[in-house]
Structure 1
Amino acid sequence: MAGIFAYAVIFLITVVLYRLLRREKKESQGRAEAELPPGSMGWPYIGETLQLYSQDPNVFFAAKQKRYGEIFKTHILGCPSVMLASPEAARFVLVTQAHLFKPTYPKSKERLVGPAALFFHQGDYHTRLRKLVQASLSIETIRNLVADIDALAASALDSWDGGRVINTFHEMKKFSFEVGILLIFGRLEARYREELKKNYFIVDRGYNSFPTNVPGTPYKKALLARKRLSKILSDIICERKEKRLLEKDLLGCLLNYKDEKGEVLTYDQIADNIIGTLFAAQDTTASVMTWIVKYLHDNPKLQEAVKAEQKAIRRLNEEGNQPLSWSQTRNMPVTYKAVLETLRMASIISFTFREAVADVEYKGYLIPKGWKVMPLFRNIHHNPEFFTDPQKFDPSRFEVAPKRNTFMPFGSGVHACPGNELAKQEMLIMTHHLVSKFRWEVVGSRSGSQYGPFPVPLQGLPTRYWKESTR
Structure 2
Amino acid sequence: MWSVWLSVASLLIVLATHWLYRWRNPKCSGKLPPGSMGFPLIGETLGLLASSKSIDTPPFIKNRMKKYGPIFRTSLAGRPVVVSSDPEFNYYVFQQEGKLVERWYMDSFAKILHQDAARINAHKNVHKYLRNVILGHFGPEALKDKMLPQLEDAINKRLYGWSKLPSLEVKSSTSAMIFDFTAKQLFSFQADKSKEDICESFTNFLQGLMSFPINIPGTAYHRCLQNQKKAISIITSELEERKSNPEIRKGDFLDQILVDMKTETFLTDKFVIYMMFGLLFASFETISSTLTLAIMLINENPKVIRELTEEHEAILKNREDINSGLTWKEYKSMTFTHNVINESLRLASVAPGILRRTLQDIQVNGYTIPKGWALMVVPAALQLNPGTYEDPLTFNPWRWQNISANVSAKNFIPFGAGMTSCAGAEFSKVLMGVFLHNLVTKYRMTTIKEGEVIRSPALGFGDGFHIQISAKHG
Indicate the structure (1 or 2) with the bigger Cα radius of gyration: 1
Q: Which residue of 2 aligns with 1:369?
A: 371
Q: What residue is the counterpart of 1:10 in the other structure?
A: none
Secondary structure of 2:444's counterpart equals strand
Structure 1 unaligned segments of length 5 or more: list them: 1-29
1:76 partner letter = L
Please give the alpha-carbon distance, in whole angstroms, between the structure 1 residues aligned to 2:217 and 2:38. 34
**Aligned twin of 1:35:** 31
Residue of structure 1 in register with 2:134 after alignment:
133
**Identity across aligned pairs (percent)?**
26
Could you tell me which residue of structure 1 aligns to residue 96 of structure 2? Answer: 96
Taking the aligned partners of 2:119 and 2:200, their CA distance within structure 1 comes to 20
CA distance in 1, matches of 2:279, 2:264: 25
The CA deviation at 1:244 is: 2.7
Deviation per residue, 1:296-320 (Å, 9 max, x gap): 1111111100011122334556897
CA change 1:449–1:339 in 2 (3 A) is same
Partner residue, 2:43: 47
- One-letter amino acid of the structure 1 residue matched with residue 185 of structure 2: L
Q: Secondary structure at the match of 2:473?
A: helix
Q: How does 1:22-171 map to 2 (within 5 A)?
A: 32=29, 34-56=30-52, 58-115=58-115, 117=117, 121-123=121-123, 124-143=125-144, 144-162=146-164, 164-171=166-173
Amino acid at match of 1:409: P
Name the Cα RMSD after superposition: 3.0
* Paired residues for 1:54-453 under 5 Å: 54-56=50-52, 58-115=58-115, 117=117, 121-123=121-123, 124-143=125-144, 144-162=146-164, 164-185=166-187, 187-188=188-189, 194-195=194-195, 198-199=197-198, 201-202=200-201, 204-205=203-204, 208-209=207-208, 211-214=213-216, 219-220=221-222, 222-223=224-225, 226-241=228-243, 242-245=245-248, 249-257=252-260, 263=265, 265-316=267-318, 321-400=323-402, 401-402=404-405, 403=407, 404-445=409-450, 448-451=452-455
Contact 1:118–1:129 (CA under 8 A) maintained in structure 2: no
Give yes or no for contact 2:170–2:466 (8 Å, CA) kept in 1: yes
Amino acid of the structure 2 residue aligned with 1:236: E
Tell me: CA distance 1:202–1:219, structure 2 relative to 1, closer, same or farther (3 Å). farther
Alignment of 1:468 onto 2:472: yes
Change (3 A) 1:443 1:117: farther
1:412 counterpart letter in structure 2: A
Residues 1:455 and 2:459 aligned together: yes
- Within 2, Cα distance between the matches of 1:184 and 1:279? 12
Counterpart-to-counterpart distance in 2, 1:285 and 1:214: 30
For the 8 Å contact 2:307–2:336, the answer to whether it is kept is yes
Distance 1:466 1:438 in 2: 5
Question: Which ranges of structure 2 fall in alignment gaps of 5 or more residues?
Answer: 1-26
Q: Secondary structure at the match of 2:58?
A: helix
Asked if structure 2 preserves the Cα contact closer than 8 Å seen for 1:360 and 1:368, the reply is yes
Partner secondary structure for residue 36 of structure 2? coil
CA 1:235–1:352: 2 relative to 1, 3 Å: same
> What SS does the corresponding residue of 1:460 show, helix, strand or coil?
coil
Q: What is the match of residue 20 of structure 1?
A: none
Taking a change above 3 Å as real, the CA distance of residues 451 and 258 of structure 1, as seen in their structure-2 partners, is same
**Structure 1 residue matching 2:154: 3-state secondary structure:** helix
**Match of 1:373, SS?**
strand
Deviation track 1:165-195 (CA, whole Å, cap 9, x = no partner) reads 311011111111122123313x55567x625
Change (3 A) 1:396 1:47: same
8 A contact 1:42–1:75 mirrored in 2: yes
How many positions carry a matched residue from both structures? Answer: 435
Question: Which one-letter code corresponds to 2:312 in the other structure?
Answer: Q
Equivalent-residue separation in structure 2 for 1:311 and 1:119 (angstroms):
49
CA separation of 1:344 and 1:207: change in aligned 2, threshold 3 A: closer
